[in-house]
Amino acid sequence: MNIYDCIIVGAGPAGLSAAMHLAWHNRRVLVLDRRTGPLFFTLTKLENVPGFAGQTGVQIMKSLRTQAINMGAEVKRGNVISITGEFTDFTVKTQKDEEYKAKTILLATGIARYHPTIDGDYKRCLAFAAKCNMFYCPDCEAPEIADKDTLVIGTGNSAGAIGTAKHLWLHTNKIDLLLTSDSAISDENQVWLNDNNIKLHRAKITALEGKKGCLDAVVLDNGARLEHEAFFVSAPKLPRTDLAEKLGIRTTKSGHVEPKSQRGDTNIKGVWIAGDLRPMTQQVSVSLGTGNIAAVHIDQFLAKR
């Protein structure tokens, strides 16, 4: 069995950025990905990604994938279920019982994002998520709702949802808040809601109305129908750490993987992390940078050995 210099798990911006650098330096690289990352399905335009301004997430992913392949990286579809071994002799196995060998590993497995649900089903939300006027990342997309009548949909605790509303307040003062959980509101946050005349709804969602990816209204179990120009989801975002934890890599209290240094190396020799596994903002440009940083040091690590 041929041994790759590096196997990268995850073909998001971080994984593909790393693949480009390593392949450019004549490293044999394999990228395995199950194609569930949010950018694969993002049809809204991203204005803050250097070099890709105005392109959709789908377009950005296609460009990155093409560039990585043209550099010489192999990119395959595969759901990695286990990684065993040690530096110079890692074995990566997929759900279809495919096995690959690698000297080093880069984990760029991203996060699991929690969408609004209807009767416990999140899939009905996917018709609108990142397609037109439904957004998720304040750092990435807050300016998109400038001066628009916006509904913040909180699917987790109230503090997170109100924090999102405060961030968006810099761009629009026309904000309503929907909390779908029973999370209590702190006195400080209640004062902020009152001072800024934020209308608060507490209810479950029973329907999402719209067409062609654009959401027109959210229907609630109390009979209310909330029509807005834009919708911003505040939801838990949990790093996909299962493979890292099986390898014995340390995690932080926030659930992220704990890097050994800013290089992205970990407490397991020969294993690096990049992208949203790291405790930082989920901007595409940041993910690209962490992927490239990890790849630079993987290449140097291999060169020294």
- Tens of pLDDT along 248-294? 998 887 778 888 888 999 999 999 999 988 877 778 999 999 999 99
Looking at residue 259, its pLDDT comes to 82
Average pLDDT, the chain: 93
- Tens of pLDDT along 28-68? 999 999 887 778 888 888 888 888 888 988 999 999 999 99
- Tens of pLDDT along 68-91? 999 999 999 999 999 999 999 999
Q: How far apart are CA 106 and CA 101, in angstroms?
A: 13
Q: pTM to 2 decimals? A: 0.91
DSSP type of residue 55: E
CB under 8 Å to 66, separation ≥6 — which residues? none
- ∠ CA(82), CA(259), CA(158), 5° rounding? 90
Looking at residue 111, its pLDDT comes to 86
Strands 55-56 and 214-220: unpaired
Looking at residue 258, its pLDDT comes to 80
DSSP type of residue 80: E
- Tens of pLDDT along 80-132? 999 999 999 999 999 999 999 999 999 999 988 889 999 989 999 999 999 99
Helix (H) or strand (E) holding 99: strand 99-107
Percent of the chain with pLDDT over 90: 78
| Crossing angle between the packed helical segments 158-168 and 187-195, to the nearest 10 degrees | 40
Do residues 41 and 83 make contact, with C-beta atoms less than 8 angstroms apart? Answer: no
| Crossing angle between the packed helical segments 13-24 and 57-71, to the nearest 10 degrees | 20
DSSP type of residue 277: G
Looking at residue 44, its pLDDT comes to 86
Q: With 90 as the cut, is the pLDDT of residue 164 above it?
A: yes
Q: Which one, of 167, 132, 136, 165, lies nearest residue 150 by Cα? A: 165
Domains in the chain, start-ordered, CATH in brackets? 3-112+237-303 (3.50.50.60), 115-234 (3.50.50.60)
CB under 8 Å to 295, separation ≥6 — which residues? 6, 17, 18, 19, 20, 21, 22, 106
Q: How far apart are CA 290 and CA 274, in angstroms?
A: 5
Q: How far apart are CA 57 and CA 222, in angstroms?
A: 35
Helix (H) or strand (E) holding 113: strand 111-113
| Maximum distance among all Cα pairs of the chain, rounded to whole angstroms | 66
Q: How far apart are CA 41 and CA 164, in angstroms?
A: 23
